[in-house]
Amino acid sequence: MVQPKNEGYLGNTLVKRSGIETKYTDQEMQEYVKCSQDPCHFIENYTQIISLDEGMVPFKLRGYQDKLIEHYNSNRFNIVLASRQSGKSITSCAYLLWFLLFNPEVTVAVLANKGAIAREMIARMVTMLESVPFFLQPGVKILNKGSIEFANDSKVVAAATSSSSIRGLSINLLYLDEFAFVDDAETFYTATYPVVTSGKDSKVIITSTANGVGNMFYKIYESAVHNQSEYKHFLINWFDVPGRDDEWKKETIANTSEAQFEQEYGNSFLGTGNTLINSNTLLGLMAKEPDWNKDGVKVYEKPKEGHTYITTVDVSKGRGIDYSTFTIMDISVKPFRQVCTYRDNMISPMLFPDLIAKYTKPYNESLVIIENNAEGGMVATQLHYDIEYPNVFVQGMSKAEDIGVTMTKRIKRIGCSTLKELLEENRMSICDRDGITELMTFISKGNSFEADRGFHDDMVMNLVLFSWFVTTDHFYHLTDRQVKELLYAEQQKTIEDDILPPGIFDTGQNNTESFVDADGDRWFLD
């Protein structure tokens, strides 16, 4: 749309300069009022965007974009999880432009991981502004790469995310683009949130594609989903975008990977890039509901006669911060299989040994391996000496500290390395939801691995301890003995089968269990 040349801003005839008096016709006044009340009407009728195929075209909102605009306008705190290339950023730019044009004396801050990206958002808004007729433009006082100031005293500024990026400003609308990729986002958000929320009508819009669970975007989005915060969530799926169907999905996965597709397009919060376990493996870990769940104990498989089990234990102080946990693994099957777990952050270390004994005895008096930190040492000693549990792992017999395992840097390094190998090579199967979630935030820190800030790794440390034990001579001798016992049992059964005649074998005892074979004969079981 060509505007009057003498009213342009610094040679740009499409942008109205400040100081130009606007005389409205009755129709224009009606249209102005309608646009001020309906952002979708304004965007669809008076803004244009650049299409890669067609150049400048009117911005025709897709169904989900129309709903997104309404979501922004209806809620004060907004967080959007969107499939990549779904148009979330350009839609947000259009809403911000409307907000500036029809709300005097407001300040909008556009922040991104890099200042150049934030300035690109300003450039998109200028492109849209150039398509808006002058009777809807308030006039521009300042326009540069990093900011626009309008004659109605509204302005927008662009900057990189930092704790000082909006210091000293009174912000009416804060827009955070691709927030899941912002470095040290928690520090930034902690410093920025009070500035924004100081105004009772201020708004926040946060948009991003998924980037793992160890970041501030994930925390805010999850809290919104579970109605645990003032934020309202909005989801844009890959199939919401016209032209994306199953064939498109197959082609995209073929050119990338399933894990990459799930995170970039499928809105899947896979593990962060520096997790111990690779994203493909994390994607394949499937949680299941336990057969029995009570008091923090989850039973996925009941004990089986003749099977050998190993229980690894991590002990907390029981003060509601870290968790006391145990994991029972069946090592008589391949891959090793998780059969029972416990997780609770309130149980006292004084009560924990009794609970351990209660649930490990049925698993054929499972070998119990306890990390003997301060609280763990107390639990290990009580379980071994006071309760006299018959199968507590003891490193040596010289002193009490030898009961359990001291988690040294070497043991943790071996355990982490072996855990990675076991899971990624499908030699160990886990199904506990809490453990899987913890693995997604168990990340590299310096020369080791630990839970990302704000998350836990107590269940993971059970797995790390088990994985270390797998590499020891103790494990070799345990499994070697098990193999020999199974072979002996099979040999005895073969001998008995050769000696016993076909037909009914009755010991004379009052057996309650029996079965009928293919010949119709009933066999009574001991």
For the chain, what are the domain ranges? 5-236, 283-471, 486-524
Query: Could you give the C-alpha distances from 327 to 118, 280, 311, 314, 458, in angstroms and in order?
Result: 47, 24, 5, 9, 10
Could you tell me how far CA 115 lies from the centroid of its own chain?
A: 27
Query: Quick check: 171 pLDDT over 50?
Result: yes
Rounded to the nearest 10 degrees, what angle do helices 88-102 and 115-129 cross at?
A: 60
CB atoms within 10 A of CB 409: 9
**What's the pLDDT tens digit per position in 131-146?**
999 999 999 999 998 9
- Mean of all residue pLDDT scores within the chain: 87
Closest CA to 179 of 88, 279, 262: 88
The CATH code that applies to domain 5-236 is: 3.40.50.300
59: number of CA atoms within 13 Å, CB side? 29
In which residue are the tokens 């912002």 written?
Answer: 182
Higher pLDDT, 345 or 478: 345
178 among known catalytic residues: yes
Q: Is the pLDDT of residue 492 over 60?
A: no
pLDDT of amino acid 174? 94
Which whole number is the average pLDDT over 241-254?
Answer: 94
Residue where the block lists tokens 């609280």: 375
Phi, psi of 105 (to 5 degrees): 60, 40
Q: Provide the pLDDT for residue 494.
A: 53
How far apart are the C-alpha atoms of 243 and 265, rounded to whole Å? 14
Q: Do domains 5-236 and 283-471 have the same CATH topology?
A: no
Q: What are phi and psi of 282, to 5 degrees?
A: -60, -40
Mean pLDDT for 406-428 is: 95
The DSSP bridge pattern shows strands 173-177 and 292-294 to be unpaired
- What span, in angstroms and rounded, lies between the C-alpha atoms of 290 and 338? 11
Residue among 149, 178, 262, 375 flagged as catalytic? 178
Distance in angstroms (rounded) separating the CA atoms of residues 437 and 213: 9
Domain 283-471 has CATH 3.30.420.240: yes
Question: What was the pLDDT predicted at 485?
Answer: 57
Q: For residue 402, what pLDDT band results from cuts at 50, 70 and 90?
A: confident
CA distances to 87, 150, 240, 253, 254 from 247, in Å: 21, 47, 15, 10, 11
Q: Does the pLDDT at position 367 exceed 60?
A: yes
pLDDT of 515 strictly over 80: no
Between 392 and 166, name the one with better pLDDT. Answer: 392
pLDDT of residue 81 exceeding 90, the answer is: yes
Kindly report which listed range (57-71, 175-189, 349-363, 364-378) carries the lowest average pLDDT score. Answer: 175-189
